[in-house]
Amino acid sequence: MNPISPDRFDAVLFDLDGVLTATAKVHAACWKRLFDDFLEERAKAIGEPLKPFDIDEDYKRYVDGKLRYEGVRSFLESRGIDLPEGTPDESPSNETVCGLGNRKDAMVHEVLEAEGVDVYEGSVRLVEHVRSRGIRTAVVSASKNCKVVLEAARISHLFDQVVDGEVAEQLRLPGKPQPDTFLTAAERIGVVPKRAVVVEDAISGVQAGRAGGFGLVIGVDRKGDPESLRQSGADIVVKDLSELV
């Protein structure tokens, strides 16, 4: 039975990468390329052994679901590396937090332009299903490329609101696992958290949904680790959202 019914919920708030679109793997690959290049140069410069970025553990623990600069900051802190913050308009060639973040953003743009965007058909089916029942929908993403990705995937018309990295920066909202971006989306769409569902594939996103007091938190297990999503606060964990249609 579909747990998302109009008598219980008025809105569903979807993450983007890994939930609606298959872009999480693009981000993971770009993070690895960014940090491996940076760590290799640093290891050569200071004579330390190279410990590459782990695309499973490091990605999941430090950057997945977080705002770009927060992801850079979080991973560097895990390695005991302190870089200047820089500014959002920093050159991607600069070795600052913002410079590295902008370099990663440029990598993502290159891949998206070359390869396009794939959607998870089961997720689109669920979005269409809940909308057909009068339930509103929104996208909540840390990505500043969110609207570009939605347009490229041809699904932007399926959402009433988008709260992305651009909105978070404008409003100075902390990223996931803090619930502020989800709470902002709920406010903009006109629902209270208890009457809204959060759908996430990232641990930080599930934690944000739980911290925000949302009525239902659904974890999408794209990485073969359902227990981590449950332990982080997911009420339900599915492999694909078509299971809920």
Nearest partner of 238 among 26, 89, 9, 229, judged by Cα? 229
Based on C-alpha coordinates, what's the Rg of the chain? 18
> What is the tens place of the pLDDT at every residue in 78-129?
999 999 999 999 999 999 999 999 999 999 888 888 888 899 999 999 999 9
DSSP 195: G
The C-alpha atoms of residue 210 and residue 229 are separated, in whole angstroms, by 11
- CA contacts within 13 A on the Cβ side of 230: 8
* H helix runs in the chain, sequence order: 24-46, 57-58, 68-78, 97-115, 121-132, 146-153, 165-171, 180-189, 203-211, 226-231
For residue 2, the model assigns a pLDDT of 80
CB 147 within 8 A of CB 164: yes
CB 219 within 8 A of CB 201: yes
Structural domain boundaries in the chain? 11-22+118-244, 25-115
The amino acid at residue 49 is: P
pTM value is 0.80
The mean pLDDT value for 163-171 works out to 94
The C-alpha atoms of residue 196 and residue 213 are separated, in whole angstroms, by 9
Point out the residues that are catalytic. Answer: 15, 17
DSSP 137: E
Q: How many CB atoms lie within 10 A of CB 47?
A: 6
> What is the tens place of the pLDDT at every residue in 177-203?
999 999 999 999 999 999 999 999 999
> What is the tens place of the pLDDT at every residue in 218-234?
999 998 999 999 999 99
CATH architecture of 11-22+118-244: 3-Layer(aba) Sandwich (3.40)
1: confidence class by pLDDT, cuts 50, 70, 90: low
